[in-house]
Structure 1
Amino acid sequence: MWNIFLKGNRTYDGLFYVAVKTTKIYCRPSCKSRKPKKQNVAFYLNRKEVERAGYRACKRCQPEVDRSPQEKIVQQAVLYLMNHMNETVTLEKVAEHVGVSPFHLERIFKQEMCTTPRTYLEKMRIEKAIHLLEHTSKTNLDICYEVGFNSPSSFYKVFKKRVSLSPHAYRRMEINRSE
């Protein structure tokens, strides 16, 4: 959550809230205000919880204002993708879950997120793979299946496209960097 907050990624707005202990203000993860120190931050999963803890809404990002119906659909789709990223996910499954047609979901997802649900899912899987490569000794094959790819060839292809290195080369580079 901290890394997402630092990047100011709009994708996670509404999925959690960032509360600043020193100012007693809470924000969306995408808030453009100056970032506080990590030790002064607490994370909450819903607005009621953060307000009950005594925080008030940020005047800049206005986290208390509800999003449009399209944004809510995209938010539900993102949550579904996050919760099912290790499974075989189809556009049809996601669309059925959020209650719209696959065509409509892809169109509004691309409009809101500037990417397709499939590309977004690949990005999440590669981010998780990078984390596992950096922090575990699992094999590339184990990581491939753990992050939700159905075949090593698709894992290597997507990883190389996004990171410009193979998983093996990435791990080697990280080992050399830490020495």
Structure 2
Amino acid sequence: MELTDTVWEIIKSNSNVCDGKVWYGVKSTKIFCKPSCPSRIPNKSNVLLFTNLDDPVKCGFRPCKPCQPINELVSDEIWVAEINYILESYYDQDLTLSELALLVHGSPSHLRHVYQSKTGLSPSKKLMQIRMDKATKLLQSTKRPISDIANDVGIPNNSYFIKIFKNIYGITPHQYRAKHPN
């Protein structure tokens, strides 16, 4: 189904007039919703429409936790998988807890509680773990400057990046690169 101006207005106004007939998926988050979902309005260019409820799942989308488009509660495990997907996809951006909560359609406090209870890590610790893992790969596989690598993994402050890296690995990024030549 094509995203017409009429359907887009229904989504933007959170109208329930198309609920049960149309669902929309957000390509950037891989979450699908009812048109009446009260969550943040996605970018129009990221929206895919579905007229069959089975199609979003077949295309790899997960149901939204607040609007429950399949009329079932979304399990915490599925929600944590959504959170991990967002963390892995957007690790290089300034991703606050509030922004993460908006992207996965939940509240910051509930997100932090559920995520930590299921993974043993806070979302911010998981994000830093992903960033440092990406940084070690770049340090091993490229000769790019440390400041560029820091920026590439979402930490634009070079001295902060070096401090965090040394706290985790016990050596500076420069020393790490020297121990792991490509």
* TM-score, normalised via structure 2 length: 0.58
Equivalent-residue separation in structure 1 for 2:76 and 2:172 (angstroms)? 37
Whether 2:136 is the aligned partner of 1:130: answer: yes
Matched residue type, 1:71: E
Higher share in helix? 1
Equivalent-residue separation in structure 2 for 1:153 and 1:173 (angstroms)? 20
Whether 2:179 is the aligned partner of 1:173: answer: yes
Q: What are the ranges of 5 or more consecutive residues in structure 1 without an aligned counterpart? A: 1-14, 16-46, 50-66
Equivalent-residue separation in structure 2 for 1:174 and 1:97 (angstroms)? 36
Alignment of 1:13-162 (within 5 A): 69-162=75-168
What stretches of structure 1 move > 4 A for 4+ residues in a row? none
Q: Percent identity?
A: 29
1:133 match: secondary structure: helix
Matched residue type, 1:145: N
2:137 match: secondary structure: helix
Count of residues in Structure 1 that have an aligned counterpart in Structure 2: 114
Matched residue type, 1:86: D
Q: 1:150 deviation in Å?
A: 2.3
* TM-score, normalised via structure 1 length: 0.59
Matched residue type, 1:173: K
Equivalent-residue separation in structure 2 for 1:73 and 1:81 (angstroms)? 12
Equivalent-residue separation in structure 1 for 2:80 and 2:147 (angstroms)? 31
Task: Encode CA deviations 1:23-82: one digit per residue, 9 max, x unaligned.
Answer: xxxxxxxxxxxxxxxxxxxxxxxx969xxxxxxxxxxxxxxxxx9611111111111111
1:137 match: secondary structure: coil
Q: 1:116 deviation in Å?
A: 0.6
Q: What are the ranges of 5 or more consecutive residues in structure 2 without an aligned counterpart? A: 1-29, 31-56, 60-72
Q: 1:99 deviation in Å?
A: 1.3
Matched residue type, 2:85: L
Q: 1:164 deviation in Å?
A: 1.1
Larger radius of gyration: 2
Equivalent-residue separation in structure 2 for 1:157 and 1:71 (angstroms)? 33
Equivalent-residue separation in structure 2 for 1:88 and 1:119 (angstroms)? 14
